[in-house]
Structure 1
């Protein structure tokens, strides 16, 4: 299949490589052209605008930073996918957009309605598993959309995902991702507190992975973040500003639905403090630097 992909970043680039290995022709666009051109050696074909994808791919994937980026890529009057589809009429090939970005469910529903006016089906399909999961091709995908649309894209997504769960209509995938992020951010914050407590108590916090392995506190997050919080020099796997964006979306959705979320509210304030400390672009593990600045070796 010929597919388009907008957003070859830390997550998108390995996903594109899996699509190429699966035999798909992948046309790529990115706001920063160098990131797109870096994939040419893997077989990707770079296009000048998102709208250019509308004429060469029937399925387009998005993996961009936020709702504003989604809106610009899809609906920009000059270079967006949907206007290009409408201008080209019968010549346009794009039939479906799969949005792997993490944005508000309400924004997703609005985008889907606007895309439908251009004859484009919408699947919101945020992912979990991080850069490691994207690289290994084992991502978990939470999908929202019409059954026919989700089933049509499932085999293609399978190139980089171990599991695709259809959660319901458009927006349901994003709601599931907010649930995921509420657990992830609260857990990483709790791990940072545990590491800080261990260090201030005079024990080797790095040994928590061994001491807690197999117990109720053990998890992929524990095994990932205790080492990252007790040393420096690891390649970043994401920035705290991404967590802050997601937690702000959780808070807004909780308000819309009348859902009490006191833990998420506390994590939101920790992330705002991190931003005020100049840590917005720091790795996810910098939660611990909010609690004890400058203490990592």
Structure 2
């Protein structure tokens, strides 16, 4: 495949550098963005702004980088309804696989060409072309999805059928939440023992107790700013894990308990086996 026309919505902290990388790779980008300053910056970079979200449907591939299931169900139905049968929707949202199934009801053929493309990384990783992306979908839909996300991601890992990438991402984030809580508890213990956070984090990074969580805490400038930054995202993802586990009958009790036991307030661990996701996110 050569240059593609890519519809894009969700040009936030992660999405905006994605668009920049897509343009740098030579793709044509039809952009829906509500904030005038974002439209201005990306138009100057070469993106074509559109007036309505549904206008991005006239593309080879549509990339959705929305925050939550609620946003997906608010914005994407009209796009799926307007998409040509050959257009592939690449969804970067970390949420519930059932949300993708709900979008099928708006597709002309009864099943939309959707690839779930959960990712792991930061805006800086996007700018460097080093975002980690997991792809789940029908084999015929994966090639155009891989071509598009390859503009800002390496590696791009295929996880199986549609929904599998979301399962991988949710488990990844659940484990990250647990390790983050343990690392924050370790820093608390270090303070009691008279060890400065910075000294302990440096030692952990060089030793066997180091982790991505420890590196992120250091990069964010300490435990407090790290906690403030990641808690809203992890709370959402841990809630999704609870819902997926309850629906599938998977026992994630130990991992969920570890994710809840720490300074970050990620929800009520007593509901880990039965709680369903918030009504706004179904």
TM-score, normalised by the number of residues in structure 1: 0.79
Counterpart of 2:245 in structure 1 is 254
Counterpart of 2:63 in structure 1 is 61
Equivalent residue runs for 1:1-297 within 5 Å: 1-55=4-58, 57-75=59-77, 80-85=78-83, 95-112=87-104, 114-115=106-107, 117=109, 120-226=112-218, 228=220, 230=222, 238-261=229-252, 262-268=254-260, 273=265
How many angstroms does 1:214 deviate by? Answer: 3.7
Q: What is the alpha-carbon root mean square deviation over aligned residues?
A: 2.8
Unaligned stretches of 5+ residues in structure 2: 269-282
Unaligned stretches of 5+ residues in structure 1: 86-91, 277-297
Q: Tell me whether 255-264 or 172-181 shows the greater mean CA deviation.
A: 255-264
2: CA distance, partners of 1:213 / 1:270: 20
How many angstroms does 1:31 deviate by? Answer: 4.0
Q: Secondary structure at the match of 1:39?
A: helix
2: CA distance, partners of 1:250 / 1:30: 30
Quickly say closer, same or farther: Cα 1:2–1:176, change in 2 above 3 A. Answer: same
Q: Tell me whether 193-202 or 157-166 shows the greater mean CA deviation.
A: 193-202
2: CA distance, partners of 1:133 / 1:95: 27
Quickly say closer, same or farther: Cα 1:270–1:220, change in 2 above 3 A. Answer: closer
Q: Secondary structure at the match of 1:38?
A: helix
How many angstroms does 1:22 deviate by? Answer: 0.5
Contact 2:178–2:260 (Cα < 8 Å) also in 1: no
